[in-house]
Chains A and B, each alone.
Chain A
Amino acid sequence: MKINFHTIDWNACQSTHGGIEMRKMNKQAFFRTGGRALIYLFLIVTGFVFLYPLLKMLSMSMMSSEDLTNPLVIWIPYQVNWSNYSRAILVLGYFETLWTTIYVSVLPALLQTLVCSITGYGLAHYRFKGKGLIFGLVLATFIIPTQITMIPQFLMYRDLGILYSLKAYLLPAVMGQGMRSSIFVLIFYLFFRQVPVSLTEAAEVDGARQLVVFFKVAVPIALPGFLISFLLSTVWYWNETYLGSLYFGAEIKTLPMKLENFVDTFNKMVSASESQAGATANESVQMAGTFLIILPLLILYFITQKYFIEGIEKTGITGE
């Protein structure tokens, strides 16, 4: 009896084995399911390694100081200790700072997305001399580390009088030089390339102006590009701390910036108030603070993860 090996459902074989003819194939089926199991095992282990810091953070954030030192307690604390969170919220000034962080990251991200979309559209839609040069410059800005430009930029902002205000983020964003702007220009270039030329030409023949073509034809097709750029750029502005603390000084403090001197602030606040006596900035409180800072990003990611994944994948598919 000849059997086509490719058409057999090996999982089914495994479960209904016993027939004499099947005996021969069982060996192969065994290896195949074994291979599958190994692959799943590998995925699950790496998945766990990926999540390990986050899980550990979550478990540590709920421990009391006795649990931390107890070698028997590894993952699950004896008692869920919510006071860590209330202290962390107090130290971070959480809700106020959250609001600051949101507008510090969303406003520049919006501007950056807009400007980069126009640049990407220009590169994708029009044919002109010097395009290669502009492309080269865009790629070059990706490689240039911020450390080489930040000193003169700092001095420039000081001379312009926009240091220690959000304008220090907004101005470069308006000029297309925000956080990792070259990536966004490339993303938009790739997305606008997908707009069929016949469509824009048809609109032009019908008498539509360039702006109308852009907003009514190109933008709707490249909408996923806008979404992914806005989200990524918000996240990157959110997570930037060094440039932020350089340009804003003590005027604007975002959540990640506050995490940097969490322990100092904690000690100051504790020594100031008698009711908190005995509390130390142990690992649990620090982890609770870290979790609170990551939490908004996690929520954002779980709502929008589909767009993130699809956006990046589309970028990968359309361009090389």
Chain B
Amino acid sequence: MKKKKLTKPARDALRGWLCCLPWLAGFVIFTMYPIFSTLRMSFESVVISAEGLVTTPVGGDNYRRVFLADVTFPGILIDYVGSIVLEVPIVIVFSLIIALILSKEITGKGFFRTLFFLPVIIISGPIIEKFIDMGLMTIQGAQSNPILLGVLEVLPGSVSELLLKLIDSFVMILWFSGVQILLLLSALQKIDGAMYEAAHIDGASGWECFWKVTLPNVRNMIVICLIYTIVTISTFDTNTVITTIQDNMFQTSRGMGYASAQAWVYFLVLVLVIGFFMLLYGPRNEAVYGTTKLAKLELKRAKKLKKQQERELKKLYRESRRYQV
């Protein structure tokens, strides 16, 4: 290297940016620009004609139409929010239960892990649609169950409708939990066995152990699974919001401007849903180490001890030098 030599941090910074450069460029071109472009289009009326796209600014008209003039879209959005609020906890609780079972000594563990991950491989829009069409995604006989029907009659219409939809695609909801089971399983296996032993000696029952040891330890992973679940369910092909937006895209009566406005509304709703779940069960620092106050005190004490030890070491060193002379 005969060129001007840089210091190591500077070289590292350069190389790091160089490594990320393709991704960053791609991000600007294929993600950032399209997002702002959709935002601009959502305030315009876009018509495809022979000469290309003809855009005329219309202000907030598209958004007004999304909320006020569109008969179906607000309803679809509300349905989506309702179903996601129902489905996400089911997926998380189910994967946690399966992961807890599989983290114990179970014969055929490998087989079950393979089985539960299988749907991740084959899940795709058209195939799921076919399965739902054929009624394969529901448990047969569940809908004619007299107890269930009785319960549904008591509940208000919209809630029972949601429940019915849930039953209809029950298997599909379980099919969304393949990745989450594996992630939670690995988090569970990482927990130190000594913690359970300590809790056991202190007289904690298995039930208490679960709430006081297991759950705080896997909390961060659950948060990751939450976000993953929300995003996968929301961006899946058979999602009604998505199909509506896609249908509107090439409709001449509504057009791309209108579809863009819908996409933006959907995006904001998605962010709100994620925010809602984060408020409910977000990451907390004290989750692993008990209360932060205690942890801080512990840290202070440790630092004090270290300083004292260092002082003593220095003293010893000085004394030893004195004797050498």
Please determine whether chains A and B interact with each other in the same assembly: yes
Q: Is the CB of B174 within 8 A of A53?
A: no
Cα–Cα, bound, A60→B24 (Å):
49
Contact B19 A126 (CB under 8 A): yes
- Asked if A145 and B266 make an inter-chain contact with CB atoms under 8 angstroms apart, the answer reads yes
Interface centre among B22, B224, B237, B264 (most CB of A within 10 A): B22
With most chain B CB atoms within 10 A of its CB, the pick from A51, A155, A287 is A155
Does B246 touch A at the CB level, under 8 Å?
yes
Is A121 positioned at the interface, with any CB of B under 8 Å from its CB?
yes
Chain A's nearest CB lies how many Å from the CB of B99?
A: 10
Most buried by A among B41, B118, B175, B184: B118
Mask of A279-318 contacts with B, CB within 8 angstroms, 1/0: 0000100110010011001101100010011001111110
Q: List 8 A-B contacts (CB under 8 A).
A: A49-B174, A50-B115, A129-B13, A141-B27, A147-B246, A148-B267, A181-B23, A316-B187
Stretch in A13-21, A170-178, A219-227 with 4+ CB within 8 Å of B: A170-178
Q: Which residues of B contact A123 (CB under 8 A)?
A: 16, 19-20
Contact between A172 and B26 (Cβ–Cβ < 8 Å)? yes
| In the complex, B207 has a CB within 8 A of chain A | no
Chain A CB within 8 A of B98 CB? yes
B292 contacts A by Cβ under 8 Å: no
Interface size on A, residues (CB 8 A): 84
- The residue in A128, A210, A308 that gathers the most chain B C-beta atoms within 10 A of its C-beta is A128
A216 to B65, CA, bound (A): 58
On whether the beta carbons of B182 and A313 are closer than 8 Å, the reply is yes
| Interface status of B43 (Cβ within 8 A of chain A) | no
Q: Is B313 an interface residue (CB 8 A)?
A: no
Question: Which residues of chain A from 120 to 154 have any CB-CB distance to chain B below 8 Å in the complex?
Answer: 121-123, 125-131, 134, 137-138, 141-153
B308: chain A residues within 8 A (beta carbon): none
| Per-position 1/0 for B57-70, Cβ under 8 A of A | 00000000000000
Dominant secondary structure of chain B at its interface with chain A: helix
Where the two chains meet, the residues of B that have a C-beta atom closer than 8 Å to any C-beta of A are 9, 12-20, 22-27, 29-31, 33-35, 37-38, 41, 53, 98, 101, 104, 106, 108, 110, 112-127, 129-131, 134, 136-137, 139, 171, 174-175, 179, 182-187, 189-190, 220-221, 224, 227, 231, 234-235, 237, 242, 245-246, 249, 256, 259-260, 263-264, 266-267, 270-271, 274
Cβ-defined contact, B237 with A241, below 8 A: yes
Query: Complex formed: what's the CA distance from A257 to B231 in Å?
Result: 23
Q: Is the CB of A148 within 8 A of B24?
A: no
- B16 contact from A131, A176, A240, Cβ within 8 A: A131
| B residues near A267, Cβ cutoff 8 Å | none
Kindly list 19 other residue pairs between chains A and B, CB separation below 8 angstroms, not including A128-B17, A152-B34, A309-B110. A50-B174, A122-B16, A122-B20, A126-B13, A128-B9, A129-B13, A134-B23, A137-B24, A141-B31, A148-B34, A149-B30, A151-B41, A175-B25, A177-B23, A210-B15, A290-B131, A294-B122, A312-B179, A316-B186
B298 to chain A, nearest CB (A): 22
Q: With A57-B136, A175-B26, A242-B125 as given contacts, are A122 and B112 in contact (CB-CB < 8 Å)?
A: no
Q: How far is the CA of A256 from the CA of B125 in the complex (A)?
A: 8
Residues of B within 8 A of A147 (CB): 235, 242, 245-246, 263, 266-267
Q: Is A23 part of the binding interface, using a Cβ–Cβ cutoff of 8 Å?
A: no
Contact B131 A130 (CB under 8 A): no
Q: B134, A287: Cβ atoms under 8 Å?
A: yes
B34 close to A149 (CB less than 8 A): yes
A134 touches B274 (CB 8 A): no
* B34 in contact with A172 (CB, 8 Å): no
B234 contact set on A, CB distance < 8 A: 145
Partner of B221, one of A297, A301, A320: A320
Binding site for B on A (CB under 8 A): 39-40, 42-43, 46-47, 49-53, 56-57, 60, 115-116, 118-119, 121-123, 125-131, 134, 137-138, 141-153, 155-156, 172, 174-177, 181, 185, 210, 235, 238-242, 256-257, 259-260, 283, 286-287, 290, 293-294, 297-298, 300-301, 305, 308-309, 312-317, 320
Contact of A320 among B31, B121, B175, B220 (CB under 8 A): B220
B20–A142 touching, CB < 8 Å: no
Q: Once bound together, how far apart are the Cα atoms of A132 and B72, in whole Å? A: 41
Alpha-carbon distance between A315 and B187 when the two chains are bound, in angstroms? 10
Do A148 and B16 have beta carbons less than 8 Å apart? no
> Are the C-beta atoms of B30 and A175 separated by less than 8 Å?
yes
Q: How far does the Cβ of A292 sit from chain B's closest Cβ, in whole Å?
A: 11
Residues on A with beta carbons closer than 8 Å to the beta carbon of B124 = 238-241, 256
Report whether A128 and B22 are in contact in the complex, using a CB–CB cutoff of 8 Å.
no
| B98 cross-chain contacts in A, Cβ below 8 A | 43, 46
